[in-house]
Amino acid sequence: MSTILPILPEVMLLGLGILVLLIDPFIKKDTDRRNFLGLFTTSGLLLTLVVSILLARPAGPVLVFGGMLRFDWLGFLFKMFFIFAGAVTALFFMDTEKLNQRAEGFLLLLAASLGMCLMASSADLIMLYLAIETTSIPLYVLAGFLTGDRKSTEAGFKYMLFGALTSTVLLYGFSLIFGFTGKTNLYELSSHFTHFDLVATSITFLVLTGLAFKVSLFPFHFWAPDVYEGAPTPVAGFLSTASKAAGFTVILRLLTVVFPVISLDWSLILAVLATLTMTIGNLIAITQKSVKRMLAYSSIAHAGYAMIGVVAFSQLGMASVVFYLIAYALTNLLAFGIIGIVGRATGSDDFSAYNGLSRRNSNLALGALVAFLSLAGMPPFAGFVAKVFVFLAAVNSGWTWLAVVGVLNSIVGLYYYLNVLKSVYLFRMENQEEEKNPLAVRRPVAVALVVLVVGILLVGILFGPWFGLASRAGLALF
Amino acid sequence: MQFPLLSVIVFTPISAAMLLLLYKPEQKKAIRITALTAALFALALSIVVYSTYNKAAAGYQFIERYSWMPAMGISLYFGVDGLSVPLVLLTGIVMVTGVMISWGIEDRPREFFAFLFILASGVFGVFCSLDLFMLFFFYEIAVFPMYLLIAIWGWIKTREYAAMKLTLYLFIGSVISLVGALVMYKTSGMNTFNMLDLEHAAFSTGFQKTWFPFVFLGFAVLGGIFPFHNWSPDGHVAAPTAVSMFHAGVLMKLGAFAALRVGIMLLPEGAKFWAPVIMVLALVNIVYGAFIASVQTDFKYVIGFSSVSHMGLVMMGFATLTPEGLTGAGVQMFSHGVMTALFFAAVGMVYDRAHTRDIPRLGGMIKPLPLVGIGVIIGSLVSMGMPGFSGFIAEFPIFMGIWKTQWVVAVIAAISIVVTASYVLLVVRKVFFGRMPDEFEGHIAPVRTLDKIALVLLMAIMIGIGVFPSLMVPWVQAGVQHVLALLGGA
């Protein structure tokens, strides 16, 4: 029995997915279906979360299932986070037309979460590739889920084309690794890449290209804005947070386990990539007219901030990346949640749709305040400490200039995030009749928002214990 | 265990803010009363801290320390010294008077008071923090509500522009200091953000010289130092009355105080090296600020630029690195805080009634608003450093300090006193005396009782300290001793 514990979350996710499909035909009325499927998925995910935390905590890092998976804190922490993000997203699904009607939507969400969980703990190239595809394919479908909507279809198709292309590049890299070493287990490979040569360079290049796409690093970020804009908002939120975090776990593991020596040689290149990712993401975000697109570019920029911690390449650096990803993901889930509500109520994602929001629903406006200030890196929200730790890691490893680039970028970020708040608090609707147009939030979504706000505050204020967890996850890499 | 005074002070406003957000937006009266109660509570506690601070023992007192993140040496570490105690009191005073004066705000008072109180918690936190990380934490908390307060409730013509300008300036300053602080953390190798330990980190002279300008100027942006003062008059003018009071009265001190605590106290060798430069910048502040103030026609801009000028005196006091100069700067921070709060309160009351701040269009306001007029007159006397008022107690030692280091600077800086006297008196004459324009005849309503209480409180403090300097100076001197020890010993 104990052997199944390392994959207990995955097993439960699979079981839950099957149950959702089985139950679906028995619900006749659309309204029942809308409420039931979402609540069922959410409570199932929460149950998985609780059971896993109670029963399936890792002790020390061990390779399990013939070396396919590694049962360690990095994997565990992220698995728990993906399940949490899945639960929140399921609540957001309940408020989205079409997504809430069909069990397939929830099933795909669960399948993607399952894939992410495997991504976070894979210790073998084959398993890793399978996990990445298990994550990606449901997400392609989800992005294009609104079949009647041309933008959504376009998003799904675009995402699939780009994704398939980079997957092949990644797979090519993996095949080279296998070809030159004859091994597929990450932890056996570590001794093979000890110096910088043509083979190692091309392998690193191919693998990084594939993964850079997943986390939307420059220059593989082009897909993100279009896909986020077209995809149903909760799906975009899930893509920009959980999927990105999953990509980062793979980057962290590969760089520290397979290419520890080469990574040091590559750190200047990674630093330049981080700089470009942050700067380009932020600069383009300024010019956006749609909040959703702006958030897409901002999420590119955030991948750049997280890369700063990767460049630092120390235990502190890894811990700060983990902390950053979680803080950022919580915040971005909240931001996309709010966009979803406003988008549904006003039918638009433009800045003007946010005019007068604080008069239409003052609590929702406060939620927006928390989300955007946390993204900007203001205390007492999670974004502040996350940024400081990443910069501190950079300074500690001698990358002071990179930290300076990071803080300068966060100034740019502050500017465009404040622009959203300007619409929310300052501008008014055209008819100035906000009081007559209150913006209602459905209960499940409200619950999700409150949970996220509380989470952001908890991580941002009581950051000690959270960072302890992140350090533990970071330590598991070395 | 001792009652955790400081943490209660720091967290009272932010808890009150959370409480306010639980009310329904329509419960305006309950919101106002809750806000005033919380503010009075914080003021009462800060009075307790001020009056029970042991001046003879000096040093940091009311120390509280809670381990927050041992792995990185971050702790919630509160303590006040002679320099910060008056500023805590000042914050309490401005908070209470600010709430009283904002009683009439009708547009979303719930959010207004909540943001104002989050800001206040940040300010208290910076003054009380002895941990560098937490200092930044609170510093940023004090910065962002400013944007919303100005942008939402500010003067409609310039609020968007001014709020964004102010926020970006302050944020740029603070993140630059932040990088400096992180480098200090790394270089010290002590794995702690505890400032009392970092004071003894023995940074190399070269390191101090390199990083001092970043750390000091980053904070000094909020202190309004030239050439980064540009945000401040615009910000003051655009802000609603209570926010201007908070901003010029307390927030600018926050910048000066953090520049002193982090810049000068942790990098004393750097401070010695760069002191002449700071002195020149501060001199520009003082003289240029005074001249610009004298040509403004907008009542609020006059006060805004006079703040630039007066904050220059604070910076100048720091730059002398002498006991006199530092003591003067310490008192000036308090005195200027109360004075500007009074000025902005008075300007706000005039503007609310006359709907203009254009000085040539005003006149004869003393008749309908006698107390406001008296307030502005007293503020003016403080502003020009008249003996018998707190301004004198502050400016006289500063000039003594400058004279001891660079008499030429003292002579040039003294020009500002003349200019200040001329413009404040002119403003008083034009706004409050002379003939009242016909359009205002019978339209100027008297001020509310709460406004009166606020005005009288502020006036009483300025006269009190002017007549009995011993009400404030010994505190500041106790704090200055420690700074001097760091400067001399390092």
| B residues 183-212 lying closer than 8 A (beta carbon) to A | 183, 185-186
**Per-residue pLDDT tens for A211-243?**
999 899 988 888 999 999 999 999 999 999 999
pLDDT score, position A449: 94
The Cα–Cα gap between B114 and B39 comes to 12
Angle between helices A73-93 and A30-55 (to 10 degrees): 160
pLDDT score, position A430: 81
Q: pTM for the complete prediction?
A: 0.92
Cβ–Cβ below 8 Å for B74 and A373: no
Asked if B321 contacts B272 with a C-beta cutoff of 8 angstroms, the reply is yes
- A308, A323, A351, A362: best mutation site toward chain B, by most B Cβ within 10 Å? A362
Among B10, B242, B151, B250, CA closest to A369: B151
In terms of pLDDT, which residue wins out, A470 or B441? Answer: A470
Q: How confident is the model at residue A35 (pLDDT cuts 50, 70, 90)?
A: confident
**Per-residue pLDDT tens for B218-274?**
999 988 888 888 888 888 888 888 888 888 889 899 999 999 999 999 999 999 999
Among the ranges given (A23-27, A204-208, A340-344), the one the predictor scored with the smallest mean pLDDT: A23-27
pLDDT score, position B134: 92
Q: How confident is the model at residue A428 (pLDDT cuts 50, 70, 90)?
A: confident
Cβ–Cβ below 8 Å for A418 and B68: no
User: Is the omega angle on the peptide bond into residue B360 within 30 degrees of 0, that is, cis?
Assistant: no
Mean confidence (pLDDT) of chain A: 89
Q: Are strands B61-69 and B74-80 parallel, antiparallel or unpaired?
A: antiparallel
pLDDT score, position A175: 93
Among B271, B312, B330, B274, CA closest to B127: B330
Instruction: Inform me whether the pLDDT recorded for A1 exceeds 70.
Output: no
Q: How confident is the model at residue B432 (pLDDT cuts 50, 70, 90)?
A: confident
Residues of B in contact with A464 (CB under 8 A): 67-71, 74
Cβ–Cβ below 8 Å for A418 and B147: yes
- B23, B108, B135, B137: best mutation site toward chain A, by most A Cβ within 10 Å? B137
Compute φ and ψ for A472, nearest 5 degrees.
-60, -45
Q: How confident is the model at residue B328 (pLDDT cuts 50, 70, 90)?
A: very high
Residues of A in contact with B72 (CB under 8 A): 392, 467
The Cα–Cα gap between A464 and A470 comes to 10
**Per-residue pLDDT tens for B164-220?**
888 888 888 988 999 999 999 988 888 888 888 888 888 888 999 999 999 999 999
Among the ranges given (A33-37, A298-302, A452-456, B207-211), the one the predictor scored with the smallest mean pLDDT: A33-37
pLDDT score, position B1: 55
- How many helices and strands (H and E) does chain A possess? 20, 2
pLDDT score, position A135: 94
- B14, B69, B166: best mutation site toward chain A, by most A Cβ within 10 Å? B69
The Cα–Cα gap between B20 and B8 comes to 18
Q: How many Cβ atoms sit within 10 Å of the Cβ of residue B207?
A: 18
Token pair belonging to B144: 């962002």
In terms of pLDDT, which residue wins out, B436 or A388? Answer: A388
pLDDT score, position A2: 57
pLDDT score, position B484: 87
**Per-residue pLDDT tens for B269-300?**
999 999 999 999 999 999 999 999 888 888 88
Residues of B in contact with A351 (CB under 8 A): none
Q: Domain total for chain B?
A: 1
Strand partners, B67: B75
pLDDT score, position B90: 93
**Per-residue pLDDT tens for A91-132?**
999 888 888 778 889 999 999 999 999 999 999 999 999 999
Residues of A in contact with B74 (CB under 8 A): 464
Token pair belonging to B128: 């009380």
Chain A: give the shortest CA distance to residue B64, in Å. Answer: 17
**Per-residue pLDDT tens for A169-205?**
999 999 999 998 888 898 888 777 777 778 888 888 8
Asked if A353 contacts A430 with a C-beta cutoff of 8 angstroms, the reply is no
Strand partners, A124: A185
Give yes or no for B175 touching A (CB within 8 A). yes
Instruction: Inform me whether the pLDDT recorded for A80 exceeds 60.
Output: yes
Instruction: Inform me whether the pLDDT recorded for A402 exceeds 90.
Output: yes
Domain that holds residue B354: 5-489
Chain A: give the shortest CA distance to residue B312, in Å. Answer: 26
Given the structure tokens 């810049």, which residue do they identify?
A: B263
**ipTM above 0.95?**
no
Query: Where does B68-198 have alpha helices with state H?
Result: 84-101, 109-128, 132-153, 159-188, 195-198
Q: Residue A400: which of B21, B143, B183 has the nearest Cβ?
A: B183
In terms of pLDDT, which residue wins out, B226 or A368? Answer: A368
Q: How confident is the model at residue A302 (pLDDT cuts 50, 70, 90)?
A: very high
Chain A: give the shortest CA distance to residue B71, in Å. Answer: 8
pLDDT score, position A6: 86
Cβ–Cβ below 8 Å for A422 and B74: no
Question: Average pLDDT, stretch A39-63?
Answer: 90
Asked if B481 contacts B84 with a C-beta cutoff of 8 angstroms, the reply is no
Secondary element (H or E) of residue A440: none
Mean confidence (pLDDT) of chain B: 89
Residues of B in contact with A404 (CB under 8 A): 179
In terms of pLDDT, which residue wins out, A266 or B62? Answer: B62
pLDDT score, position B414: 87
The Cα–Cα gap between B280 and B315 comes to 10
**Per-residue pLDDT tens for B379-411?**
999 988 888 898 889 889 999 989 988 888 888
